[in-house]
Structure 1
Amino acid sequence: MPSISIPVLVLWGDKDPFTPLDGPVGKYFSSLPSKLSNVKLIVLEGVGHCPHDDKPELVHEKLLS
């Protein structure tokens, strides 16, 4: 991730059972916005591992803004 210079939007479901925010992968991605100015993390409430399947309207709202 540090070598990526384009804007990165990370959408993460707070109910993800496979890669929870408090797990090692989640902690890594949660830390990125404070280290890299091009990374933005949005945690989606009530969403699991596949936000685009669970709540496509919410994902679209975040992507299109």
Structure 2
Amino acid sequence: MKGKNGDRRARLANDIRRQVGTEATKRFLRTLPVFRLEKEMPKRLTDLLDRLDGAEADKTGGARRH
């Protein structure tokens, strides 16, 4: 038996799903930069990852990944 709290949580979850699934919310979320998909990783980040790989390889004595 779910009880009173279980029913309330289920209703809340359904309300959230319904609101998030509206076209207006989807349209709004698509405008936010956080939700945009980058096609390629920026060079600045790949350079930092390369430096991190090098530092880890130096520390552990292992070979670098490419």
> TM-score, structure 1 length as denominator?
0.21
> TM-score, structure 2 length as denominator?
0.21
Task: Kindly name which structure, 1 or 2, has the bigger radius of gyration based on alpha carbons.
Answer: 2
Of Structure 1 and Structure 2, the greater strand share is in 1
